[in-house]
Structure 1
Amino acid sequence: MTGSPTTERRRLRLPDGRLVRCTRPAEASLMWREISGDGFYRRASRGLRPGDTVLDIGANVGLVSIAFAAENPGLRVIAAEPVPDTFDCLRANLDRYVPGGVAVRTAVAATAGTQQLTYYPDAPGNSGLYADRQADDALTRTFMRNGGIDDESIDLLIEGLHDGHSLEVPVTTVSGLLREHGIGRVALLKVDVERAELDVLRGVAPADWSRIDAVVAEVHDEEQRLAEFCDLLRAAGLSPETRQDPSLNGTELYEVYGDRS
């Protein structure tokens, strides 16, 4: 394991030359490829307009917020990330690349309070309230195998990758964020929270769903979570679609996009 992200402030240069703060450049580079590919994030971005409000839940270092704001100048972004090291990078990136963007150090779930979160220093993007080392190792193994990496190399790459420790983090709800930041309408709710996707939706008060125009999310389809997630969107008046990137074939990871069209 390399040194702690607390002492190692790293940077990634994006293809357009922008330099972003991150805790693990290799992981951030993979995230950027996912965001900029022809998936639902791109589709969601095309539906935004200057002046719209985006809630970026599970913002990590803010790459989705940066991509959305670059394509839609004047976007209002509220980005939530609970892990202190990752949050520091998020705040710096929003300050530099998302004018008016607000970083909030919090997890987002069904109820407000505090919860224990498992943080993986070598794989920050896989950290979460429901982190599962065995499942995360298996998912990463399949992703790498799909990318053409041989099993012996995979064994070396994932050794210790998901060694984690517990952090107590503050928790709020989507409706709590709407109240706290005086948000009247949300053009897009983005959710990437590593198995806590249903908790995020359950934290939207029934009266607030009509204020949310679209949702884009990464969903772990364990115990029928994907179907339940889509059912909740339908109940809120959104029409969900699902897809799986070919690089994730054989895993439980899916993208979901739902809007009111």
Structure 2
Amino acid sequence: MNLVKLDDDLEVFHKNSGETRALYQEIFVDRCYERAGQNLKSGDVVFDVGANIGFATLYLHRVCTGLRFFCFEPLPTVSNILRANLEKFNIDALVIEAAASDAAGLASLTYYPNNTVMSGLHSNPAVDREVTRCYLINSGFDEESIAYFLEKKFQTATVECETLCLSDVIEQRGIDRIDLLKIDVEKNERQVLAGITPNHWPRIRCLCVEVHDIDDGLSAVLDLLKQRGFMVEVFQNFLLKDTGLYDVLATRR
């Protein structure tokens, strides 16, 4: 497990240097969770679903100390790094080594060891390579660099993991409110939302969801959130133009 220094005040445990620096740019420099976290206060509860090595949790912890986190990360190699970062920064967090979904059980997860953030229950190497290609083109990389990156980053493995429903965690842990539900789960966001029972939706104050617009996925997520009483806003990072990836912020009316 290696450390990388990202700025004068931030040194983290990580797995892949390039991936870690891209996460740092997105979360700490571009501040993609700034609006989602702006109303949090000490004592609030945050569910970080798809926590990876913990950057969203770490960013929100810096924005507001005293938060209580539940971090969901199914990959053992990644969750070990997540735990190390949470301990390093003394964050009040419980790591749940499982994939949130619409049913409890076991599932096969496609794991990219050199590109862990795109690993998931519905990962598709061909689709994921094209999304990454668009991202790199939008970032200004040349064709030779893109070809090298894609060849290196999409070696695959299959990992068996536990799946669970968020409502099961809410019940088992006696959680009476979720002040922010962040979801970034690589095409499994609709299943995660389906794993929340109707009686638990009123406990959720705000959501920030990465949505893959596959099979009208964006419209389906927006319709569901509106039905549950949320106002919704849709954003797209300019680096994700032509990828079908969007961020949805949902807040109570």
TM-score by length of structure 2 reads: 0.96
Deviations 1:2-24 (A, max 9, x none): xxxxxxx2222232422211111
What does 1:215-230 correspond to in 2, within 5 Å? Answer: 215-230=207-222
On the 8 A contact 1:40/1:216 being kept in 2, the answer is: no
The answer to whether structure 1 residue 139 and structure 2 residue 131 are counterparts is yes
Q: Which residue of 1 aligns with 2:169?
A: 177
Deviations 1:210-235 (A, max 9, x none): 00001001111111101111111111
The answer to whether structure 1 residue 85 and structure 2 residue 72 are counterparts is no
Q: Which moved more, 1:161-170 or 1:58-67?
A: 161-170
Q: 1:142 to 1:86 in 2, by over 3 A?
A: same
On the 8 A contact 1:10/1:25 being kept in 2, the answer is: no
Number of equivalenced pairs: 253
Q: Percent identity?
A: 34
What does 1:51-200 correspond to in 2, within 5 Å? Answer: 51-200=43-192
On the 8 A contact 2:70/2:95 being kept in 1, the answer is: yes
* AA at the equivalent of 1:111: A
* AA at the equivalent of 1:225: G
Q: 1:18 to 1:36 in 2, by over 3 A?
A: closer
Counterpart Cα distance in 2 of 1:219 and 1:148 = 24
* Cα shift at 1:47: 1.8
Give every structure 1 segment of 4 or more consecutive aligned residues whose post-TM-superposition deviation is greater than 6 Å.
none
Q: 1:45 to 1:98 in 2, by over 3 A?
A: farther
* AA at the equivalent of 1:61: I
On the 8 A contact 2:50/2:71 being kept in 1, the answer is: yes
The 3-state SS of whatever aligns with 2:109 is strand
Q: Which moved more, 1:31-40 or 1:49-58?
A: 31-40
Q: Which residue of 1 aligns with 2:236?
A: 244
Counterpart Cα distance in 2 of 1:94 and 1:180 = 22
The 3-state SS of whatever aligns with 2:79 is helix
> Of 5, 8, 11, which residue of structure 1 is paired with 2:3?
11
Unaligned runs of 5+ in 1: 1-8
Q: 1:38 to 1:124 in 2, by over 3 A?
A: closer
On the 8 A contact 1:65/1:98 being kept in 2, the answer is: no
The 3-state SS of whatever aligns with 1:14 is strand
Deviations 1:119-140 (A, max 9, x none): 0001000000000000111111
Counterpart Cα distance in 2 of 1:181 and 1:72 = 23
Counterpart Cα distance in 2 of 1:174 and 1:14 = 33
The 3-state SS of whatever aligns with 2:187 is coil
Unaligned runs of 5+ in 2: none
Q: 1:13 to 1:147 in 2, by over 3 A?
A: same
The answer to whether structure 1 residue 48 and structure 2 residue 36 are counterparts is no
Deviations 1:180-234 (A, max 9, x none): 3221100000000000000000000100000000100111111110111111111
Q: Which residue of 2 aligns with 1:31?
A: 23
Q: Which moved more, 1:81-90 or 1:147-156?
A: 147-156
* AA at the equivalent of 1:60: N
Counterpart Cα distance in 1 of 2:162 and 2:252 = 32
* AA at the equivalent of 1:182: G
> Of 197, 201, 220, which residue of structure 2 is paired with 1:205?
197
Deviations 1:11-57 (A, max 9, x none): 22232422211111210111121112455511011121111000000
Q: Which residue of 2 aligns with 1:5?
A: none
Q: 1:252 to 1:98 in 2, by over 3 A?
A: farther
